[in-house]
């Protein structure tokens, strides 16, 4: 059955030639006035010069270029089709390759700050990437697995950040004590958002979550007594190394003095890097594990078909709320880390732009793919950084890169979905 399709689709040489000739003709028609004729200023008078050889080259390039482009597109298409056909067979191998890449990335992440121990810029960027990785993994639960389009994820990020900032500055809580509490507060906000959204899907849900994100931001801007309004909250305590502060040695024991090191401001940055690495790895382990549990499968099933879920006796309300709560909690934890790292937060950091970037990370990475989120975060954080030389064209470059990636891989960078369990693996030696 498949060969029938591909035979019908593959164009013959004549067809290709005709297609390219058509393009060449258009090029010729456009080229006559644009290239063939040109005006030159000759001692005050305009003279028309003809440049037929150049036009000829131009048309030939258009002809060959079209031929090549068409060929490349056709090959890509047929390759995609074969890939689809062999998907089942290749998927197991594919999964193993991805696991290997994942471990490699993990190893690189572990040694990175040791290699760049004196490069503040690299460690800072790597920490930013990891914050986005964690935010992406949190949103991946809601958007990628449960299929609920959430445009307001920055709201939970903000809730986590403000929860820590307030707990730390007002009540003197430490980073480690505030971390789970702020996560829980964000989860409660997740439930508060999830509840009115239970009946909404797709575009409508997106609009409500967008509104929710704005509400949180506007409240933070205007509720000056609580949040400090547009001035934000400053001098948020930085996390200490389990009680040992990162400070120049004084009377109290510090991190540097207890380990017999010379004080360096890099210690704290490297420590922060490892904290966010640990937090995101924990997130990854949690989400990867949950995906293989009934809740995780229920999320994915709900993304695929909510009505079928109900017909099988699944309480869709609980499934949705659990996805919202978990996603919000992970976003909140990332927010706590963000506040602790920056030492200063204001509503400016939690605009719609932030939500859009997190969503872009999930979509670009490939919905539901954990490793895809990592790659997409790298791309989305590094492109603007690398583009600094282009100054104001930076965002243009960013947009163009996103469009190109989506054309190249419409399903995201890693659209591969690893089944949560396999008969071939379980059933092969199955009793």
Partner 1 sequence: MPEASAAGGVMPLLSVENLTMRFGGLAAIDDLSFDVPAGRISAVIGPNGAGKTTFFNCLTGFYKSTAGSVRLNHPELGVLRLESLPSHQVARLARIVRTFQNIRLFPKMTVLENLIVAQHNVLQQASRFSLAGLFGLPSYRRAEARAVDKAVDWLRRLDLIDKADVPAGALPYGTQRRVEIARALCADPLLLCLDEPAAGLNPRESGELNELLLRLVKEERLTLLLIEHDMSVVMNVSDHICVLNYGRKIAEGTPDEIRNDPHVIKAYLGEEEEEEEEEDAAGAVQAKAIGART
Binding site for partner 1 (CB under 8 A): 84, 87-88, 91, 286, 289-290, 293-295, 297-298, 300-301, 304-305, 307-316, 417, 419-424, 426-427, 430
**Shortest Cβ distance from residue 312 to partner 1 (Å)?**
5
123 CB-near residues (< 8 Å, 6+ apart): 112, 113, 116, 266, 269, 270, 273
Q: What is the DSSP letter of 265?
A: T
Closest to partner 1 by CB, 168 or 279:
279
Closest to partner 1 by CB, 172 or 313:
313
DSSP reduced 3-state for 241: strand
**Shortest Cβ distance from residue 162 to partner 1 (Å)?**
28
Closest to partner 1 by CB, 82 or 235:
82
Closest to partner 1 by CB, 31 or 372:
372
Closest to partner 1 by CB, 270 or 329:
329
Contact between 253 and 244 (Cβ < 8 Å): yes
242 by Cβ neighbours in 10 Å (0-12 / 13-18 / 19+) ranks as exposed
DSSP per residue over 197-221, as a string? GTT--HHHHHHHHHHHHHHHHHHHH
Closest to partner 1 by CB, 202 or 427:
427
Closest to partner 1 by CB, 55 or 413:
413
**Shortest Cβ distance from residue 258 to partner 1 (Å)?**
35
SS3 string of 98-143?
HHHHHHHHHHHHHHHHHHCCCCHHHHHHHHHHHHHHHHHHHHHHHH
Contact between 169 and 116 (Cβ < 8 Å): no
**Shortest Cβ distance from residue 417 to partner 1 (Å)?**
6
Give how far Cα 294 sits from Cα of 91, 142, 201, 297, Å: 22, 16, 22, 5
**Shortest Cβ distance from residue 1 to partner 1 (Å)?**
9
**Shortest Cβ distance from residue 60 to partner 1 (Å)?**
44
DSSP per residue over 140-195, as a string? IIIIIIS----S-HHHHHHHHHHHHHHHHHHH---HHHHHHHHHHHHHHHHHHHHG
- Tell me the Ramachandran region of residue 412: left when phi exceeds 0, alpha when psi lies from -120 to 50, beta otherwise: left
Closest to partner 1 by CB, 3 or 172:
3
**Shortest Cβ distance from residue 377 to partner 1 (Å)?**
23
**Shortest Cβ distance from residue 109 to partner 1 (Å)?**
24
Closest to partner 1 by CB, 87 or 382:
87
**Shortest Cβ distance from residue 366 to partner 1 (Å)?**
12
Question: Please, what is the angle between helix 266-291 and helix 316-342, to 10°?
Answer: 170
**Shortest Cβ distance from residue 431 to partner 1 (Å)?**
9
**Shortest Cβ distance from residue 32 to partner 1 (Å)?**
51
Closest to partner 1 by CB, 30 or 316:
316
The torsion angles phi and psi of 278, rounded to 5 degrees, stand at -65, -45
Measured distance CA(332)–CA(160) in Å, rounded: 4
The torsion angles phi and psi of 429, rounded to 5 degrees, stand at -105, 30
DSSP per residue over 270-327, as a string? HHHHHHHHHHHHHHHHHHHHHHTSHHHHHHHHHHH-HHHHHHTT--HHHHHHHHHHHH
Closest to partner 1 by CB, 74 or 300:
300
Report the Cα–Cα distance between both ends of the chain, in Å, rounded: 36
């Amino acid at each position: 059955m498949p060969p029938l399709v591909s035979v019908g689709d593959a164009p013959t040489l004549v067809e290709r030639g005709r297609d390219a000739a058509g393009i060449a003709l258009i090029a010729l028609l456009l080229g006559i006035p644009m290239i063939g004729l040109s005006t030159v200023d000759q001692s005050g008078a305009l003279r028309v010069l003809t440049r037929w050889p150049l036009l000829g080259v131009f048309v030939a390039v258009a002809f060959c270029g079209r031929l090549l482009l068409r060929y490349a597109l056709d090959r890509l298409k047929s390759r995609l089709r074969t890939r689809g056909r062999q998907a089942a067979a290749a998927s197991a191998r594919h999964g193993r390759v991805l696991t290997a890449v994942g471990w490699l990335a993990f190893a690189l992440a572990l040694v990175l700050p040791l290699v760049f121990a004196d490069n503040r810029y690299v460690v800072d960027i790597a920490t930013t990437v990891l914050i986005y990785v964690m935010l992406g993994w949190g949103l991946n639960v809601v958007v990628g697995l449960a299929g609920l389009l959430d445009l307001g994820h920055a709201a939970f990020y903000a809730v986590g950040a403000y929860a820590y900032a307030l707990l730390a500055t007002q009540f003197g809580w430490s980073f480690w004590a505030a971390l789970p509490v702020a996560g829980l507060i964000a989860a409660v906000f997740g439930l508060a958002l999830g509840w009115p959204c239970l009946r909404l899907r797709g575009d409508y849900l997106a609009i409500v979550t967008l509104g929710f994100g704005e509400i949180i931001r506007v409240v933070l801007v205007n509720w000056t007594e609580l949040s400090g309004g547009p001035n934000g909250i400053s001098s948020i305590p930085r996390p200490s190394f389990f009680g040992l502060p990162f400070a120049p040695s004084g009377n109290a024991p510090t991190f540097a003095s207890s380990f017999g090191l010379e004080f360096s401001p890099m210690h704290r940055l490297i420590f922060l890097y490892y904290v966010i690495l640990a937090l995101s790895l924990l997130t990854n382990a949690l989400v990867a594990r949950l995906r293989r549990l009934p809740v995780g499968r229920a999320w994915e099933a709900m993304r695929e078909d909510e009505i079928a879920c109900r017909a099988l006796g699944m309480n869709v309300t609980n499934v949705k709320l659990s996805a919202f709560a978990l996603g919000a909690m992970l976003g909140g934890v990332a927010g706590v880390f963000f506040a602790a790292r920056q030492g200063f937060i204001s509503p400016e950091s939690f605009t719609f732009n932030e939500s859009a970037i997190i969503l872009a990370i999930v979509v670009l990475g490939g919905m539901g793919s954990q490793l895809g989120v990592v790659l997409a975060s790298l791309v989305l954080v590094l492109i603007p950084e690398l583009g600094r030389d282009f100054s104001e064209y930076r965002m243009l470059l960013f947009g163009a890169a996103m469009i190109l990636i989506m054309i190249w891989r419409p399903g995201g960078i890693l659209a591969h979905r690893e089944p949560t369990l396999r008969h071939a693996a379980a059933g092969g030696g199955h009793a």
